[in-house]
Amino acid sequence: MKIQRRLVLGFAALFATMSLAALGPTLIVSSAEAASLTQVTNFGSNPGGMDMHVYVPSTRPAHPGIVVAMHGCGGSGPGFYSGSEFASQADRYGFIVIYPSAKQQAGFGNCFDTWSDAAKKRGGGSDPVSIVSMVTYVEQQYNGDPNRVFATGSSSGGMMTDEMLTLYPDVFKAGAAFMGVPFGCFANAADYPPGGKCTGGSMTKTAQQWGDMVRQAYPGYSGTRPRIQLWHGTADNLVPYQLLQEDIKQWTNVFGLSQTPTSTDSPKSGWNRSRFADSSGTVQVEAYSVQGAGHSLPSSGMAASAVSFFGLDNTSPPVTTPPVTTPPVTTPPVTTPPVTTPPDTTPPTGDSTCKVTDTVSSWNTGLTESISITNTGTSTINGWSLVFTLPGGQTISSGWSATFSPNSGQVTAKNQSYNAVLAPGASTTIGFQANHTGNTAKPPTFTLNGTTCTNG
Protein backbone atom coordinates (compact mmCIF):
# COMPACT_ATOMS: atom_id res chain seq x y z
CA MET A 1 0.00 0.00 0.00
CA LYS A 2 2.85 2.41 0.78
CA ILE A 3 4.39 1.89 -2.69
CA GLN A 4 1.02 2.37 -4.36
CA ARG A 5 0.54 5.66 -2.59
CA ARG A 6 3.96 6.84 -3.70
CA LEU A 7 2.90 6.30 -7.29
CA VAL A 8 -0.05 8.65 -7.09
CA LEU A 9 0.43 11.02 -4.16
CA GLY A 10 2.87 13.74 -3.25
CA PHE A 11 2.02 16.18 -6.01
CA ALA A 12 1.70 19.92 -5.34
CA ALA A 13 -1.66 21.70 -4.95
CA LEU A 14 -3.39 23.20 -7.96
CA PHE A 15 -2.54 26.75 -9.06
CA ALA A 16 -5.26 29.34 -8.42
CA THR A 17 -7.64 29.88 -11.34
CA MET A 18 -6.48 32.77 -13.50
CA SER A 19 -8.67 35.77 -14.28
CA LEU A 20 -10.28 36.24 -17.69
CA ALA A 21 -8.11 39.27 -18.34
CA ALA A 22 -4.98 37.18 -17.95
CA LEU A 23 -6.18 34.71 -20.56
CA GLY A 24 -5.87 37.15 -23.44
CA PRO A 25 -8.18 38.02 -26.32
CA THR A 26 -7.94 34.64 -28.07
CA LEU A 27 -10.21 32.91 -25.53
CA ILE A 28 -13.99 32.95 -25.62
CA VAL A 29 -16.43 32.44 -22.77
CA SER A 30 -18.22 29.14 -23.34
CA SER A 31 -20.24 28.87 -20.15
CA ALA A 32 -21.35 31.02 -17.25
CA GLU A 33 -20.68 28.10 -14.90
CA ALA A 34 -17.33 27.23 -13.39
CA ALA A 35 -15.53 24.35 -15.07
CA SER A 36 -15.52 20.98 -13.32
CA LEU A 37 -14.40 17.42 -13.97
CA THR A 38 -17.04 15.46 -15.85
CA GLN A 39 -17.29 11.72 -16.49
CA VAL A 40 -18.02 10.61 -20.05
CA THR A 41 -19.56 7.25 -20.91
CA ASN A 42 -20.04 5.71 -24.35
CA PHE A 43 -17.12 7.65 -25.82
CA GLY A 44 -16.43 5.03 -28.47
CA SER A 45 -14.43 1.82 -28.82
CA ASN A 46 -13.11 0.88 -25.38
CA PRO A 47 -11.28 -2.47 -25.44
CA GLY A 48 -9.34 -1.46 -22.32
CA GLY A 49 -12.58 -1.07 -20.32
CA MET A 50 -11.38 2.33 -19.15
CA ASP A 51 -13.23 5.20 -17.49
CA MET A 52 -13.02 8.68 -19.03
CA HIS A 53 -13.19 12.05 -17.32
CA VAL A 54 -12.74 15.37 -19.07
CA TYR A 55 -11.97 18.86 -17.83
CA VAL A 56 -13.28 21.61 -20.12
CA PRO A 57 -12.27 25.12 -19.01
CA SER A 58 -15.03 27.71 -19.05
CA THR A 59 -12.93 29.93 -21.32
CA ARG A 60 -11.26 28.43 -24.36
CA PRO A 61 -10.63 29.01 -28.08
CA ALA A 62 -13.09 27.91 -30.71
CA HIS A 63 -10.78 24.95 -31.42
CA PRO A 64 -8.96 24.14 -28.16
CA GLY A 65 -5.92 21.95 -27.81
CA ILE A 66 -6.20 18.60 -26.04
CA VAL A 67 -3.96 17.05 -23.37
CA VAL A 68 -4.35 13.43 -22.26
CA ALA A 69 -3.08 13.29 -18.64
CA MET A 70 -2.51 9.79 -17.24
CA HIS A 71 -2.11 8.67 -13.62
CA GLY A 72 0.30 6.21 -12.04
CA CYS A 73 -0.45 2.64 -10.93
CA GLY A 74 -3.05 2.46 -8.19
CA GLY A 75 -4.46 5.84 -9.17
CA SER A 76 -7.36 7.18 -11.20
CA GLY A 77 -8.22 9.98 -13.58
CA PRO A 78 -10.00 12.03 -10.89
CA GLY A 79 -7.05 11.48 -8.55
CA PHE A 80 -4.58 12.80 -11.14
CA TYR A 81 -6.91 15.74 -11.83
CA SER A 82 -6.86 16.79 -8.17
CA GLY A 83 -3.21 15.90 -7.56
CA SER A 84 -1.51 17.60 -10.51
CA GLU A 85 -1.44 21.08 -12.06
CA PHE A 86 -2.72 20.35 -15.57
CA ALA A 87 -6.27 21.56 -14.87
CA SER A 88 -5.02 24.91 -13.58
CA GLN A 89 -2.87 25.23 -16.69
CA ALA A 90 -5.99 24.47 -18.75
CA ASP A 91 -7.84 27.28 -16.96
CA ARG A 92 -5.02 29.63 -17.85
CA TYR A 93 -4.49 28.65 -21.48
CA GLY A 94 -7.82 27.22 -22.58
CA PHE A 95 -7.02 23.63 -23.56
CA ILE A 96 -9.08 20.55 -22.65
CA VAL A 97 -7.69 17.80 -20.42
CA ILE A 98 -8.71 14.14 -20.73
CA TYR A 99 -8.12 12.06 -17.59
CA PRO A 100 -8.37 8.31 -18.39
CA SER A 101 -8.66 5.76 -15.56
CA ALA A 102 -6.80 2.50 -16.17
CA LYS A 103 -8.29 -0.79 -15.04
CA GLN A 104 -5.50 -3.29 -15.78
CA GLN A 105 -4.39 -5.25 -12.73
CA ALA A 106 -0.73 -6.05 -13.49
CA GLY A 107 1.84 -4.71 -11.06
CA PHE A 108 0.08 -2.66 -8.37
CA GLY A 109 -3.38 -2.55 -9.99
CA ASN A 110 -5.04 0.12 -12.13
CA CYS A 111 -2.00 0.36 -14.41
CA PHE A 112 -1.95 1.37 -18.08
CA ASP A 113 -1.26 -1.61 -20.35
CA THR A 114 2.22 -1.17 -21.82
CA TRP A 115 3.15 -4.86 -21.77
CA SER A 116 0.65 -6.87 -23.85
CA ASP A 117 1.07 -7.71 -27.53
CA ALA A 118 -2.19 -5.87 -28.27
CA ALA A 119 -0.90 -2.69 -26.60
CA LYS A 120 2.32 -2.75 -28.64
CA LYS A 121 0.65 -2.64 -32.04
CA ARG A 122 -1.17 0.24 -33.67
CA GLY A 123 -4.86 -0.60 -33.59
CA GLY A 124 -4.10 -3.79 -31.68
CA GLY A 125 -6.60 -3.11 -28.94
CA SER A 126 -6.36 -2.66 -25.15
CA ASP A 127 -5.76 0.75 -23.52
CA PRO A 128 -4.17 2.61 -26.47
CA VAL A 129 -7.29 2.17 -28.61
CA SER A 130 -9.50 3.35 -25.73
CA ILE A 131 -7.39 6.49 -25.30
CA VAL A 132 -7.57 7.35 -29.01
CA SER A 133 -11.35 6.97 -28.78
CA MET A 134 -11.37 9.56 -26.00
CA VAL A 135 -9.37 11.97 -28.13
CA THR A 136 -11.75 11.51 -31.07
CA TYR A 137 -14.73 12.12 -28.78
CA VAL A 138 -13.29 15.43 -27.54
CA GLU A 139 -12.44 16.52 -31.07
CA GLN A 140 -16.04 15.91 -32.14
CA GLN A 141 -17.87 17.02 -29.00
CA TYR A 142 -15.84 20.15 -28.20
CA ASN A 143 -14.32 21.05 -31.59
CA GLY A 144 -10.90 20.03 -30.29
CA ASP A 145 -8.01 20.88 -32.57
CA PRO A 146 -6.60 17.65 -34.07
CA ASN A 147 -3.33 19.45 -34.77
CA ARG A 148 -2.81 20.18 -31.06
CA VAL A 149 -3.17 16.85 -29.25
CA PHE A 150 -0.63 15.91 -26.58
CA ALA A 151 0.03 13.15 -24.04
CA THR A 152 1.52 13.25 -20.55
CA GLY A 153 1.55 11.05 -17.49
CA SER A 154 3.26 9.91 -14.30
CA SER A 155 4.93 6.50 -13.80
CA SER A 156 2.52 4.06 -15.49
CA GLY A 157 1.02 7.10 -17.25
CA GLY A 158 4.50 8.21 -18.28
CA MET A 159 5.13 4.76 -19.73
CA MET A 160 1.85 5.04 -21.65
CA THR A 161 2.96 8.45 -22.96
CA ASP A 162 5.88 6.77 -24.78
CA GLU A 163 3.39 4.14 -25.96
CA MET A 164 0.90 6.60 -27.45
CA LEU A 165 3.58 8.62 -29.25
CA THR A 166 4.90 5.39 -30.74
CA LEU A 167 1.61 3.87 -31.88
CA TYR A 168 -0.20 7.05 -32.92
CA PRO A 169 2.38 9.55 -34.20
CA ASP A 170 -0.29 10.96 -36.51
CA VAL A 171 -2.58 11.74 -33.54
CA PHE A 172 -0.17 13.15 -30.94
CA LYS A 173 2.10 16.10 -31.68
CA ALA A 174 4.25 15.83 -28.54
CA GLY A 175 4.39 14.20 -25.12
CA ALA A 176 5.85 14.68 -21.64
CA ALA A 177 6.66 11.46 -19.78
CA PHE A 178 7.34 11.59 -16.04
CA MET A 179 9.23 8.58 -14.65
CA GLY A 180 8.51 6.48 -17.72
CA VAL A 181 10.38 3.78 -19.62
CA PRO A 182 11.20 3.30 -23.30
CA PHE A 183 8.54 1.79 -25.55
CA GLY A 184 8.91 -1.99 -25.61
CA CYS A 185 10.70 -2.19 -22.26
CA PHE A 186 8.23 -4.71 -20.82
CA ALA A 187 8.26 -8.19 -22.34
CA ASN A 188 4.85 -9.17 -20.93
CA ALA A 189 2.63 -8.78 -17.85
CA ALA A 190 4.99 -10.83 -15.69
CA ASP A 191 7.77 -8.34 -16.49
CA TYR A 192 5.76 -5.43 -15.11
CA PRO A 193 6.76 -3.92 -11.71
CA PRO A 194 7.46 -4.66 -8.95
CA GLY A 195 9.38 -7.58 -10.48
CA GLY A 196 10.83 -8.01 -13.95
CA LYS A 197 13.85 -7.09 -15.99
CA CYS A 198 12.68 -3.70 -17.33
CA THR A 199 12.65 -1.91 -13.99
CA GLY A 200 15.12 -4.24 -12.31
CA GLY A 201 17.98 -1.83 -12.98
CA SER A 202 19.71 -3.86 -15.69
CA MET A 203 17.75 -3.09 -18.86
CA THR A 204 20.09 -1.82 -21.56
CA LYS A 205 19.83 -1.89 -25.35
CA THR A 206 21.57 -0.05 -28.13
CA ALA A 207 19.98 3.09 -29.50
CA GLN A 208 19.34 1.23 -32.76
CA GLN A 209 17.54 -1.61 -30.96
CA TRP A 210 15.33 0.82 -29.04
CA GLY A 211 14.60 2.86 -32.17
CA ASP A 212 13.70 -0.25 -34.16
CA MET A 213 11.04 -1.12 -31.56
CA VAL A 214 9.31 2.20 -32.25
CA ARG A 215 9.55 1.85 -36.02
CA GLN A 216 8.28 -1.74 -35.99
CA ALA A 217 5.18 -0.82 -33.96
CA TYR A 218 3.79 1.12 -36.94
CA PRO A 219 5.54 -0.28 -40.03
CA GLY A 220 5.68 1.97 -43.03
CA TYR A 221 4.97 5.21 -41.17
CA SER A 222 7.01 8.02 -42.73
CA GLY A 223 5.32 11.12 -41.35
CA THR A 224 6.44 13.55 -38.67
CA ARG A 225 7.21 12.02 -35.30
CA PRO A 226 5.95 13.70 -32.12
CA ARG A 227 8.52 15.49 -29.97
CA ILE A 228 9.06 14.17 -26.45
CA GLN A 229 10.01 15.58 -23.06
CA LEU A 230 11.36 13.13 -20.46
CA TRP A 231 11.54 13.63 -16.67
CA HIS A 232 13.20 11.44 -14.04
CA GLY A 233 14.38 11.80 -10.46
CA THR A 234 17.96 10.81 -9.76
CA ALA A 235 16.93 9.05 -6.53
CA ASP A 236 14.05 7.06 -8.02
CA ASN A 237 14.43 3.52 -6.68
CA LEU A 238 11.16 2.18 -8.10
CA VAL A 239 11.65 3.02 -11.78
CA PRO A 240 15.46 3.31 -11.91
CA TYR A 241 16.96 6.60 -13.06
CA GLN A 242 19.12 4.63 -15.51
CA LEU A 243 16.03 4.18 -17.69
CA LEU A 244 16.06 7.89 -18.52
CA GLN A 245 19.21 7.32 -20.57
CA GLU A 246 17.60 4.32 -22.30
CA ASP A 247 14.61 6.54 -23.15
CA ILE A 248 17.00 9.16 -24.55
CA LYS A 249 18.71 6.49 -26.65
CA GLN A 250 15.37 5.41 -28.12
CA TRP A 251 14.02 8.78 -29.12
CA THR A 252 17.26 10.34 -30.35
CA ASN A 253 17.62 7.30 -32.61
CA VAL A 254 14.04 7.67 -33.86
CA PHE A 255 14.83 11.27 -34.81
CA GLY A 256 18.26 10.43 -36.19
CA LEU A 257 20.02 12.59 -33.59
CA SER A 258 23.24 12.22 -31.65
CA GLN A 259 23.04 11.17 -28.01
CA THR A 260 25.22 14.19 -27.23
CA PRO A 261 22.95 17.11 -26.24
CA THR A 262 23.00 20.23 -28.38
CA SER A 263 22.60 22.24 -25.16
CA THR A 264 22.32 21.76 -21.40
CA ASP A 265 21.15 24.09 -18.66
CA SER A 266 19.36 24.24 -15.30
CA PRO A 267 16.12 26.23 -15.71
CA LYS A 268 15.34 25.74 -12.00
CA SER A 269 17.41 24.64 -9.04
CA GLY A 270 17.86 20.88 -9.23
CA TRP A 271 16.45 20.60 -12.77
CA ASN A 272 19.26 19.61 -15.13
CA ARG A 273 17.96 19.81 -18.70
CA SER A 274 19.51 18.31 -21.84
CA ARG A 275 18.16 19.24 -25.25
CA PHE A 276 18.59 17.39 -28.52
CA ALA A 277 17.82 19.55 -31.54
CA ASP A 278 17.68 18.75 -35.24
CA SER A 279 19.48 20.69 -37.98
CA SER A 280 16.70 23.29 -38.06
CA GLY A 281 17.14 24.03 -34.35
CA THR A 282 13.88 22.39 -33.24
CA VAL A 283 14.25 20.47 -29.99
CA GLN A 284 12.87 17.00 -30.68
CA VAL A 285 13.94 15.41 -27.38
CA GLU A 286 14.23 17.19 -24.04
CA ALA A 287 15.34 15.37 -20.87
CA TYR A 288 15.22 16.55 -17.25
CA SER A 289 17.24 14.96 -14.45
CA VAL A 290 15.69 16.13 -11.18
CA GLN A 291 18.35 16.06 -8.49
CA GLY A 292 17.48 14.04 -5.39
CA ALA A 293 13.89 13.38 -6.48
CA GLY A 294 12.42 9.95 -5.86
CA HIS A 295 9.35 8.41 -7.44
CA SER A 296 7.28 11.56 -6.94
CA LEU A 297 6.96 13.47 -10.22
CA PRO A 298 5.50 15.75 -11.47
CA SER A 299 6.10 18.25 -8.69
CA SER A 300 5.21 21.93 -8.64
CA GLY A 301 5.97 23.82 -11.84
CA MET A 302 6.59 20.76 -14.00
CA ALA A 303 3.14 20.77 -15.61
CA ALA A 304 3.76 24.35 -16.73
CA SER A 305 7.06 23.28 -18.31
CA ALA A 306 5.31 20.45 -20.15
CA VAL A 307 2.58 22.80 -21.39
CA SER A 308 5.23 25.21 -22.62
CA PHE A 309 7.04 22.37 -24.43
CA PHE A 310 3.74 21.56 -26.14
CA GLY A 311 3.38 25.20 -27.20
CA LEU A 312 -0.01 25.48 -25.47
CA ASP A 313 0.99 28.44 -23.33
CA ASN A 314 0.22 30.83 -26.23
CA THR A 315 3.65 32.36 -25.86
CA SER A 316 6.15 29.81 -27.08
CA PRO A 317 6.24 27.88 -30.39
CA PRO A 318 8.01 24.50 -30.58
CA VAL A 319 11.24 25.01 -28.70
CA THR A 320 14.36 25.98 -30.66
CA THR A 321 17.86 25.58 -29.43
CA PRO A 322 18.98 28.29 -26.97
CA PRO A 323 22.60 29.46 -26.89
CA VAL A 324 24.69 26.33 -26.43
CA THR A 325 25.98 26.03 -22.91
CA THR A 326 28.06 22.88 -23.35
CA PRO A 327 29.39 22.99 -26.93
CA PRO A 328 31.10 20.12 -28.67
CA VAL A 329 34.78 19.98 -27.90
CA THR A 330 36.53 22.84 -29.74
CA THR A 331 39.02 23.86 -27.06
CA PRO A 332 42.62 24.37 -28.22
CA PRO A 333 45.33 22.07 -26.88
CA VAL A 334 45.73 22.65 -23.17
CA THR A 335 49.13 24.08 -22.26
CA THR A 336 49.10 23.23 -18.56
CA PRO A 337 51.14 20.10 -17.74
CA PRO A 338 49.31 16.92 -16.90
CA VAL A 339 48.85 15.81 -13.31
CA THR A 340 51.93 13.81 -12.44
CA THR A 341 50.26 11.21 -10.22
CA PRO A 342 46.89 10.29 -11.70
CA PRO A 343 45.09 7.31 -10.13
CA ASP A 344 44.25 5.86 -13.55
CA THR A 345 45.15 6.11 -17.21
CA THR A 346 42.89 9.06 -18.06
CA PRO A 347 44.89 12.29 -17.84
CA PRO A 348 43.16 15.61 -17.26
CA THR A 349 43.01 17.96 -20.23
CA GLY A 350 42.60 21.07 -18.12
CA ASP A 351 42.04 22.42 -14.64
CA SER A 352 40.42 19.46 -12.88
CA THR A 353 39.32 21.34 -9.75
CA CYS A 354 35.97 19.80 -8.91
CA LYS A 355 33.07 19.54 -6.52
CA VAL A 356 31.00 16.42 -5.86
CA THR A 357 27.50 16.32 -4.38
CA ASP A 358 26.52 12.82 -3.31
CA THR A 359 22.99 11.67 -2.40
CA VAL A 360 22.12 8.18 -1.11
CA SER A 361 18.63 6.68 -0.91
CA SER A 362 18.54 3.29 0.84
CA TRP A 363 16.07 0.55 1.68
CA ASN A 364 16.34 -2.94 3.22
CA THR A 365 19.42 -4.38 1.46
CA GLY A 366 19.61 -1.96 -1.46
CA LEU A 367 20.46 1.66 -2.22
CA THR A 368 20.80 4.11 -5.07
CA GLU A 369 23.51 6.76 -5.14
CA SER A 370 23.39 9.91 -7.25
CA ILE A 371 26.71 11.71 -7.77
CA SER A 372 26.81 15.21 -9.27
CA ILE A 373 30.25 16.26 -10.59
CA THR A 374 30.93 19.97 -11.17
CA ASN A 375 33.98 21.44 -12.88
CA THR A 376 34.89 24.36 -10.62
CA GLY A 377 38.10 25.11 -12.50
CA THR A 378 38.80 27.48 -15.36
CA SER A 379 39.61 24.97 -18.11
CA THR A 380 37.43 22.47 -19.94
CA ILE A 381 37.77 18.83 -18.88
CA ASN A 382 37.66 16.46 -21.85
CA GLY A 383 37.46 12.93 -20.51
CA TRP A 384 37.29 12.14 -16.82
CA SER A 385 37.65 9.37 -14.24
CA LEU A 386 36.14 9.64 -10.77
CA VAL A 387 37.72 7.41 -8.13
CA PHE A 388 36.07 6.60 -4.79
CA THR A 389 35.98 3.78 -2.27
CA LEU A 390 32.70 2.07 -1.41
CA PRO A 391 32.10 1.34 2.29
CA GLY A 392 32.39 -2.30 3.29
CA GLY A 393 29.47 -4.51 2.29
CA GLN A 394 28.36 -2.36 -0.66
CA THR A 395 28.40 -3.91 -4.15
CA ILE A 396 27.29 -2.10 -7.30
CA SER A 397 24.66 -4.01 -9.27
CA SER A 398 24.02 -1.47 -12.04
CA GLY A 399 24.98 2.06 -12.99
CA TRP A 400 24.10 4.85 -15.36
CA SER A 401 25.82 7.73 -17.17
CA ALA A 402 29.27 6.19 -16.46
CA THR A 403 31.08 2.84 -16.46
CA PHE A 404 31.92 1.53 -12.99
CA SER A 405 34.79 -0.89 -12.30
CA PRO A 406 35.21 -2.89 -10.17
CA ASN A 407 31.85 -3.19 -8.40
CA SER A 408 33.21 -2.96 -4.84
CA GLY A 409 36.18 -1.57 -2.94
CA GLN A 410 38.00 1.22 -4.82
CA VAL A 411 35.83 2.02 -7.82
CA THR A 412 36.67 4.03 -10.93
CA ALA A 413 33.73 5.65 -12.76
CA LYS A 414 34.59 6.72 -16.30
CA ASN A 415 32.61 9.05 -18.53
CA GLN A 416 30.30 8.03 -21.35
CA SER A 417 30.72 9.62 -24.77
CA TYR A 418 27.85 12.06 -24.22
CA ASN A 419 29.13 13.50 -20.92
CA ALA A 420 32.90 13.45 -21.43
CA VAL A 421 33.18 17.23 -21.71
CA LEU A 422 32.78 19.43 -18.64
CA ALA A 423 33.16 23.11 -19.41
CA PRO A 424 34.04 25.44 -16.52
CA GLY A 425 31.02 25.57 -14.22
CA ALA A 426 29.30 22.64 -15.97
CA SER A 427 27.98 19.60 -14.13
CA THR A 428 27.05 16.04 -14.96
CA THR A 429 25.23 13.48 -12.83
CA ILE A 430 26.04 9.79 -12.65
CA GLY A 431 24.72 7.12 -10.36
CA PHE A 432 24.44 3.50 -9.44
CA GLN A 433 22.31 0.97 -7.62
CA ALA A 434 24.02 -1.24 -5.05
CA ASN A 435 23.38 -4.00 -2.55
CA HIS A 436 24.50 -3.50 1.05
CA THR A 437 24.78 -5.53 4.26
CA GLY A 438 23.76 -2.71 6.58
CA ASN A 439 26.32 0.02 5.89
CA THR A 440 24.63 2.68 3.73
CA ALA A 441 27.28 5.38 4.19
CA LYS A 442 28.67 7.47 1.33
CA PRO A 443 32.25 7.20 0.07
CA PRO A 444 34.39 9.55 2.21
CA THR A 445 36.28 11.17 -0.68
CA PHE A 446 36.15 11.53 -4.46
CA THR A 447 39.09 12.12 -6.81
CA LEU A 448 38.60 13.42 -10.33
CA ASN A 449 41.53 12.94 -12.71
CA GLY A 450 43.90 12.85 -9.78
CA THR A 451 42.53 15.84 -7.90
CA THR A 452 40.54 15.45 -4.68
CA CYS A 453 37.12 17.09 -5.04
CA THR A 454 35.39 19.21 -2.45
CA ASN A 455 32.11 17.79 -1.12
CA GLY A 456 29.12 20.00 -1.90
Active site residues: 155
Spell out the residues 6+ positions from residue 168 whose beta carbon is closer than 8 angstroms to its own: 122, 128, 132
Helices (H), 94-206: 126-141, 156-167
Farthest CA pair distance, the chain? 75
Q: What is the DSSP letter of 139?
A: H
Q: What would the DSSP string read from start to end of 332-344?
A: PPP-SPPPSS-SS
- Phi/psi-derived region of residue 107, left when phi > 0, alpha when psi is between -120 and 50, beta in every other case: left
Q: How many residues in the chain?
A: 456
Q: What are residue 387's DSSP bridge partners?
A: 412, 447
Q: What is the DSSP letter of 104?
A: B
* Other beta carbons less than 10 A from residue 11's beta carbon: 20
HSE toward the beta carbon, residue 169, CA cutoff 13 A:
20
Spell out the residues 6+ positions from residue 100 whose beta carbon is closer than 8 angstroms to its own: 50, 51, 52, 53, 68, 70, 77, 112, 127, 130, 131, 134
HSE toward the beta carbon, residue 267, CA cutoff 13 A:
15
HSE toward the beta carbon, residue 367, CA cutoff 13 A:
21
* Other beta carbons less than 10 A from residue 239's beta carbon: 26
